[in-house]
Structure 1
Amino acid sequence: MGAKTILLDKETFIERVMDFTKDLEWNYKGDKPCIIDFYADWCGPCKAIAPILEELAATYHEDIYIFKVDTEKEMEISALFGIQSIPSLLFIPLDSKPQMVQGALPKNVLEDHINSILLD
């Protein structure tokens, strides 16, 4: 079995994604593309997509990271990205701007986004 999704708090977000306390412009720190799943434990669609994201984390573990941010606990990060509805998925390629996708998308659509946004 491959990697799993990685839960981020403020400290690990700053360390692995972006130091929003210092950087005014987007500056991704990662060494490979990633998806950030903005979710909450009480959210039905978030629960529905969680096992799919775990499968994708295992399948694509050599190519991308899949991070999770609990919007209830990490309100500062959620506000930074203007999260209004969940689940919201932020696709972060290495060499271009992040793209936000909202909703509990089916696995095939997520794979299409991974391939076209992150691995293209």
Structure 2
Amino acid sequence: MGGVLTPRDYNEFSLRYMHKIVDGLIRENEGRRVPVTLFTKNGGMWLESIAATGCDAVGLDWTINIADAKARIGDKVALQGNMDPSMLYAGHDRIRQEVAGILEGSVMQVQAMYLTLVTVST
């Protein structure tokens, strides 16, 4: 929920620790690079700062337009996201329509899109 913090609090209590985490990770395993994705809920105002942490990808929530994010951070990192989680309640046709809209609105090659699916038994 970094997006609800003031700029000073975000830098002190969130971004600072993201830098420490990224810097402290082992980034290679058996000769292969291990990618790091960072995500801040409502983090649109912090995209440039997040991309500058040394991560490989920035996760976007549904409140951020992919084309705008790409224009702001360029090719520094991959972008991941950004389907609205309310799509979990939609039918298949509506989900297909939403995915098509995200892809059409993207000004880049889509590298990763995610939506966590959860099955709840009643």
User: Which one has the bigger helix percentage?
Assistant: 2
Larger Rg over CA atoms: 2
TM-score (norm 1): 0.27
Larger relative contact order (Cα-Cα within 8 Å, sequence gap ≥ 6): 1
